[in-house]
Homo-oligomer: A and B are copies of this chain.
Amino acid sequence: MASNMEKLNDIALEHIAQYFQALSEPTRLKILHSLQDGERNVSELTELSGCTQANVSKHLSLLAKIGLVKRESRGTSVYYNIADPSIYTLCELVCGQIGSRLADEAPLRAMLLSSLDKFNT
């Protein structure tokens, strides 16, 4: 029985890991952010993300596979919308953590500020 539970936990861990992995890429985070206010088609997402259509399509495919977005074909366009809004809760929690870290870590903060300075020229 203990072996049963152990195996089930491994499968659960794999699912959890995959879920986090879907969120572990800036381009995908951008796409998900673009979908927060409502569905968009691939062309729109391509423009908003600044990546190639092929790349966006590839990322969307993964997000759909993990179940974070849903795909809906309409005419010649394909629309994607959020299937799992809890990801925004996750992102907010992480943003909060990273934000408070930035406050705590003066060296990192100085680096970020110097990045800003570079664009003031």
Residues of A at the B interface (CB closer than 8 Å) are: 3-4, 7-8, 10-21, 23-26, 29-30, 67, 84, 86, 89-91, 93-98, 101, 112, 115-116, 119-120
Contact partners of A12 in chain B: CB under 8 A: 95, 98
Copies assembled? 2
With a CB–CB cut-off of 8 A, which chain B residues contact A115? 7-8, 11
Question: What is the CA–CA distance of A31 and B97 in the complex, to the nearest angstrom?
Answer: 20
Q: Which has the most chain B C-beta neighbours within 10 Å: A90, A94, A115?
A: A94
Closest 7 CB pairs of A and B: A21-B24, A20-B24, A20-B23, A13-B26, A4-B119, A20-B20, A17-B26
Q: How far is the CB of A117 from chain B (nearest CB, A)?
A: 9
